[in-house]
Structure formats: C-alpha cells, structure tokens
Structure 1
C-alpha cells in the first residue's frame, strides 16, 4: 500500500468514526465571537432580575425548539408567506414566551460580531444561564448549530410531549428523539421552576385520583372547573423560582401539577429514579446537566446546512 493510499484510508476512518454531531464544540465561538457567552449571560441575568419566571420560559423555548425537527431555532420564526410558524401550535400558542429576550440578545450580538452566533445557539446558552441564575447546575454548552430557514406547525403539534401523556407515551416521545428514560425523568425536573396554565392541568385536579386532595383543592381556587384557562399555578408548589429538587419531593406526596408530572411517580418504572432525585439534589443536578447536553444534540444543523439568521424571527 502506497503512502498516499494509506493517508486516504486513515482520513476516511477518522471521518466515518466521527459522531454525527461532532461539529458541535463548547469552544466554537472562542475566536469568532469571544464575548458571545458573557454577553448572553449578562442579558439573561438582566431579564431574570426583572422577572424570575423568565428563566423557566427560556429553558422551555430551548426544549420546544429541539423537539421539533431538532435544535434549529425554528420556534423563533414568525409566520411568513412560505410557511406557518410553530408559535401558534397547540403546545406553544399563548404559552411559550421570552422571544423579546432572545431578540435583545441577538441584537447585541449582531452589533458586536455580525452574522456569527446562531439563534439556535442563543437558545441553548440562554437555557443554561437561566438554570444557573436560579440556583441550578452548570454545564458546557455544545455550540455550532445553525438556523433553519423554515418551521413546522404540524411538527410542533405532534412532536412536543403533551401534559396529559401517560408514562409510556412520555417515554416514547423522548425515545423518538434519541433520549433515554433517564434523560426524560431528569429533564422533567425543569418543572422545579415556572408556571403552567390552568387548561393544561384542569383534568388532573378535577378528574383524577393520583393527586393529593388538599393540594388539588388549593389549586382549584385559581383554576375553576369552567373558565380561567389562562390562570397560572406554579409547577413546583414549594419553590417555583429556585432550581432545586423539590419537584421530585412533591411527586412523592402526589403534588405533581400536571398529569404527566405525577405519572413519573405513580407505581411505575420511573418511581425509583424520582426517589433518588428527591433524596439527592447533586445526583439530579448531574443528570440534568448531562440530559440537557443530550437534548441540545438533537439533529443540529451544522457546516453549510441552514444559515445564521440576522433576525431570529425571519430567514435572511
């Protein structure tokens, strides 16, 4: 075998053995926009100083983005003549928020390093910084995603897990995205912050038995059996603006606000992991950080695919 042939074979082996998301790296902007991460962190810190709930909203934006055709910033796109965006889909309409915070971050980054930092990466960084700002764990955000040029209303309606899902359906929806049951239970812990609309848990508090009766009655005061669909209640009744492990403690007392929450501790296969997290915050933090990295690796656009939008709300 000649030396040139040998070199070609080595290159092919390296290329073929590289992971599909190998282009993502935590140092992606070190040279092209070295201030990117500190700028996002400062903007998130400022947004949460105004409203702590925004932290949960920014985490949710990243989650709802990644579950629809991958982490590509598609959730940020407004409707256009060519497609209907994802903002009016059932899981998002009158629910997802934080778009103005992302707009502010994007404007600041464009002024500093034009056309470099993608909207999809901003979502990933902002989610991590929100968790940290509210007392949760940190992790190295993998970067280098590019933005899609279109969105999928049908995907948003069918691929985002529903709050009425049972455990098996919840496991399947995460498995379909390459995420394990362990990832799913850990990521559900994001519900230790934020609030939910009455319409998403009304059936659980009025029609189901796997819920603490006193807790259900306390929630009913702000969520009548008819009307009040947009009234809000905290997902974590103990500490809705602190990222901790109280969500899992609540589940053990049948104080999960959503049906899908309480399904994680209802005599099924998830009970053991919930118990572990309720007893050990550090274990939860470690697993949550790892799961967020895994979720951020769902089908990213890299290389020459997609684009880096100048305005997160519309394609270039």
Structure 2
C-alpha cells in the first residue's frame, strides 16, 4: 500500500524550476523577485459543497488550481508558486493520476510551480495556497473604488450557474448546450492576463466566485461607496440569453457563483484603455454600471426603475 510520501513522490513532485527547493523537504525555499510584493491566497474545495463527489478528477485538478489563480488575477499578481494539501478517503491511483494531470496542466498554462503541501486520509477535499508577485503600489485591491467610477465585468455571467441548475435537475438542456455551459462550471479560466493589464488602470477589482451582487458588494463595503447597475447591460452568452424566460434567470446571472470572471472599477476616462485591453486579449469587457457616493447596491431596468433582488449570492454559513 502506498505511503503518504509515496503519493507525494509519485503524483505531486514534478520539477519546480522557479523554486530554490520544491516538494520533498520540510519546507520549500523560494526566492521572491527583489522589489516585488508577495500576494498569497488560500482556497479549500470540499466534496459535496464545492464539487460533486463523482466529479471528473482531471477537471477537478484544473479547477482546484484555477479558482485560486483567479484570486491572484483579481489582485493583478503574476502567479509563481502553489502548495496543495489534499485529503483522500482512500488511495485510488487512477483518480490521483488524472487529478494531478489536470492540476499540472493548469499550472503549466499559467507558469506556476507546485512546491509542496500535504496528504491526509479523510473526507475528500483539497486546500491550495497560491503565491504571486506584484510591484509595490500596483496591486488591485477592493478598497479603491471612487464615486463616478465605471463598473466593469469580464466575459459572461450565469453560464456556470445554469450548468449547475441542469445537473440538479432544475433545467433541461440539449447535450450540446449542456457541454458548452458545463465547461464554464468545471474548467473556469482565471483571468490572469486581464488582471496584469489592469494595473494602474482599475481602481478596484474582485473575482466573481459567489455571484456578481455578493462579490461587488465586497468592493462597495471596503471602498465605502455604493453602485447602480444597468440590468440591460449585463453580459450573457447566447445560450443564457435564450434562457431569459426561465424563473432562475435573474438569480443565475446576478447571484450565481462559479463565474470566475473579474469585476472591476475604473475612472470613466479609462474606457478607451479598457476597450483596447479587451481587444488585445480577445476578451469581452462590459461596462455595467457606476459607483455612487451613496451606500447600497441598486439594479435598474431599461427605464431606470429598481429591480427587486431576492438573492445576492452564495454564503457557506447562511441559513
């Protein structure tokens, strides 16, 4: 039977060229680029809470790192290193090989090295800590939004939430449509390049993990401002647009989790620069509202009338 150290050597000890010393010792040894700040974020994914226990392990490996990289993207940080603490109910070599391949595929795409972690026996879950670098004064934070700033969002909203609704039996989709939407749920794309491009342009930023309203709300709270969003400007994919009559449409688009897009604010005079960034990255960037001095978050329809909101997003400890 494989020991803890056998598992680490076999699945999670690939070369880490950016580390002085990677996995295999009591600690990793890392050299931060002189003059740079270290950005650090940790996320835990738990079976039955963040993913289904029978999830494809290769996609789970990708997603478990990608959602952490999304946090670095929201800070405008360049990914450098990651650690993984994984708890397993049993040793399943086929599952571990697929999970590791998915994780390392995401790591290779974003030039981040796995440099250590831990393995434990218990209910399936994984905790990743990611580290990135950002120049002093260049980090995108939640507390910089100012009255008059424009609110922007990358990509499209609601795809992942509708995929989850289909898995839970609340929505019938064709196999083709489900495959398209479920890719957004199971294999999110962290907007690292966008975060880097928004340095010195965005006044604040956050990644959308718990839903637009909830996550934008964190910016408003930290910045001590409010916002008004134009419902008609919210970007949705063609598939989600076709589901506009579904009772869950507003909840999925406004409060659905797992988008992993960036929501950010910027002075109004940065519009041309942001449009150019979107064009250079081939990424849809949409202005959806404005920051106001008055506290609170308001969503209006095409006639400027407020829309009643019955949900703002996911909360692990909400009753």
TM-score range, shorter chain: under 0.3
TM-score, reference length from structure 1 = 0.23
Structure ranking higher in strand proportion: 2
